[in-house]
Amino acid sequence: MILRDFDKKQQKGFTLLETLVSLGLFALVISVGVGIFVGGSNYQRKTIELLSVQREAGYIMEIVSRELRMGADLPVIDTDNNSQVGQSDDYLEFIDYNWDKKVYCRLDSNGSCDSSGKDFGVGVGNPLFFHKINSTEVEVENLKFYVNDFDAPLNKQKFITVSLTLKSTKKYHTKITLQTSIAMRIY
């Protein structure tokens, strides 16, 4: 009996099996925690990228809306061909509030209008000098202009609908599409 009590008093510590089980549970908890952290971090990066694309799209739409609202006129109609002069759904030409010719379009890498260009640009003056509006963080995937009531009488507002799709150039290639209709002022 004395021998049995002596064995119980000498045993201080964990068995090999208990140690392995506790290490396995610890590794499982750590791996789940790291997975949650990495997933949250990726979600945060996607959200930041989306906000960046939204900010760029909003900036471009604000510039276009303001310029068109303040614009003096759209180009005249070619009565011989019954078509619009300087109009396409890929670009928009109009007269701004300073009575300068202005063109919005997609720009290629050389800085000239191209329907497959990756940048949003504006051309001003005569001859037109184009410059890029968007940052290098985004590229234009789609840009369309639709002019309603182009041949409206002078006392009726003209509406231009702008549809713009931007895509991030970063890791997740986040896309956003915005569309707005703008009424030009009546002069």
Q: Name the residue ranges covered by the structural domains of the chain.
A: 42-183
pLDDT score at 85: 46
The residue with tokens 């005249």 is 76
- Chain segment 169-179, per-residue pLDDT in tens: 999 999 999 99
**Residues in Cβ contact with 149 at an 8 Å cutoff, skipping those fewer than 6 apart:** 156, 157, 158, 159
CB contact at 8 A, 105 and 117: yes
Strands 138-148 and 83-84: unpaired
- Statement: residue 77 has pLDDT above 50: no
The residue with tokens 């260009």 is 117
What's the predicted TM-score (pTM) here? 0.74
pLDDT score at 8: 58
DSSP 8-class letter at 75: P
Q: Where are the alpha helices (DSSP H) in 71-104?
A: none
- Chain segment 84-116, per-residue pLDDT in tens: 544 568 888 888 888 888 899 999 988 888 888
CA-to-CA dists, residue 22 to 11, 27, 36, angstroms? 19, 9, 21
- Chain segment 128-156, per-residue pLDDT in tens: 889 899 999 999 999 998 887 655 565 56
